[in-house]
Structure formats: C-alpha cells, structure tokens
Amino acid sequence: MDRVALRGLRARGHHGVFPKEREEGQTFVVDLVLGLDTRPAAADDDLAKTVHYGIVAEEVVAVVEGEPVNLIETLAERIAQVCLKHEGVREVEVQVHKPDAPITVPFDDVTVTITRSRV
C-alpha cells in the first residue's frame, strides 16, 4: 500500500472536558497518513484516480473546527471516518496533537494516534 501524508494541519477547536477549553478553544494539530494504491493515478497522471489531499485537508479542518467533543480520542476517530469516506483510501493513521493541553507541569505535546481501515 502506498502512503500520502499530510503533516501539521492546524485548526482552532473547542474540544476538552474543562469549561475553559470549551469556551476559549485552542489550536489542534493533525497529522495524517492515508493508505491507498497510487499506481492507477500515476499510470494515467490523473488526479481523479487518487485522493485529493487538498479536499481531505479542508474536511479535517472542518471536523476540528466543528462540534466539540470531550476527548481527542473521539476527535481522532471522527477525522479517521472522514478520511475513509474517500473511495481510494483503504487505511488512515491519524495523530491529533493538543500542544496547549491543560497540564500543570512542563511538557511539549500531547498526542493520540489511531489507525483505521476499511472493513
């Protein structure tokens, strides 16, 4: 399986379990690795035969900016389902970063990574 990766998609969302997170929001960063067969697209040099990563990026940002959830695990799952709706995408790895998580000690990042595939 071939891979198409999108790294560092940024969007502001209102996800979290604490009222301040819901009210003020924060930046979330998403990394994606889409698994698909790129041979048909490469053979014909045809965008219609691969995944349009620009559209995927817009859809992922819309999920992050959309309906709030408590957990970034839930957010990652929603993002994965959006990616798998694209016909050629057989598998997706989603990593959601929450660099401004409400943690009381110094830290660099909090991430959740999931992998989902078509059944």
Q: Are 95 and 116 in contact (CB under 8 A)?
A: no
- 98 included as an active-site residue: yes
The DSSP code for 67 is S
- φ/ψ of 61, rounded to 5, equals -60, -40
Residue 29, judged by CB atoms within 10 A of its CB (0-12, 13-18, 19+), counts as: middle
Residue 63, judged by CB atoms within 10 A of its CB (0-12, 13-18, 19+), counts as: buried
Residue 24 host element (H or E): helix 19-24
Query: Which sequence positions are flagged as catalytic?
Result: 98
